[in-house]
């Protein structure tokens, strides 16, 4: 009995401390996909607004969150957007804001989603990879549940306001120098 209690306590401590270690701050967002010559890497302080560990599947004081990350959770599962829309792979990296107390100085990949934007409806869509999707292997740190994984959902206006101008700017051709006369 004594070994069983010690083993149970050790398992409990492991399940509590591992998630806490994994929940670093979002410090980088990388975007690659349609129309981008090179991937976009965003590391400014605004990336911290899009924390993977928020929304359904996250409990604060035993109450499940209903908002957060880049998804409009209350709207539920959306219909699949048209295949003709530009498609982007968006990767979220965590790290420490306090480098002195960090185990590594390099950000680590914690979550990957797909993103599409329909300019005619001005609506963004986010796909959370499901267990049978190739990108799911990267999402070991968070499970939102409620049938969200493996489905398209609507993006939040905060995400749209943040990411649309960044993608648009990256898709613009480099301006050429003015001609000399």
Spatial distance between the Cα atoms of 156 and 57, rounded to a whole number of angstroms:
18
Asked, for residue 18, whether it belongs to a domain, the answer is no
Q: What is the pLDDT of residues 11-23, one digit of tens each?
A: 333 333 334 334 5
Asked, for residue 181, whether it belongs to a domain, the answer is no
Q: At a CB cut-off of 8 Å and minimum separation 6, what does 70 contact?
A: 50, 90, 113, 115, 126, 155, 156, 158, 159
Nearest partner of 153 among 72, 88, 94, 96, judged by Cα: 72
Distance of CA 131 to the CA centre of its chain: 16
Asked, for residue 144, whether it belongs to a domain, the answer is yes
* Average pLDDT, integer, range 120-146: 85
Q: What is the pLDDT of residues 139-171, one digit of tens each?
A: 766 667 777 889 999 999 999 999 999 999 998
Q: What is the pTM assigned to this prediction? A: 0.77
Asked, for residue 11, whether it belongs to a domain, the answer is no
For residue 125, the enclosing domain spans: 26-171
Asked, for residue 3, whether it belongs to a domain, the answer is no
The number of domains in the chain is 1
The answer, yes or no, to whether residue 2 has pLDDT greater than 90, is no
Across the chain, what does the average pLDDT equal? 79
Nearest partner of 109 among 126, 84, 91, judged by Cα: 91
Asked, for residue 14, whether it belongs to a domain, the answer is no
Reduce the DSSP state of residue 128 to 3 states and report it. Answer: strand
């Amino acid at each position: 009995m004594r070994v069983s209690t010690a083993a149970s306590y050790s398992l409990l401590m492991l399940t509590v401390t591992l998630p806490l270690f994994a929940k670093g701050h979002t410090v980088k967002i990388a975007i690659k996909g349609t129309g981008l010559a090179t991937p976009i890497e965003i590391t400014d302080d605004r990336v911290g607004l899009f924390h993977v560990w928020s929304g359904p599947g996250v409990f604060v004081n035993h109450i499940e969150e209903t908002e957060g990350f880049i998804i409009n959770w209350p709207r539920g599962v959306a219909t699949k957007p048209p295949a003709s829309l530009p498609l982007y792979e968006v990767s979220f990296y965590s790290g420490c804001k306090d480098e002195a107390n960090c185990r590594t100085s390099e950000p680590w990949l914690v979550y990957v989603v797909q993103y599409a934007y329909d300019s005619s409806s001005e609506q963004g869509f986010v796909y959370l990879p499901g267990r049978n999707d190739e990108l799911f292997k990267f999402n070991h740190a968070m499970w939102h549940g409620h049938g969200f994984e493996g489905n398209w959902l609507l993006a939040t206006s905060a995400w749209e306001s943040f990411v649309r101008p960044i993608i648009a700017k990256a898709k613009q051709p480099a301006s050429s120098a003015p001609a000399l006369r």
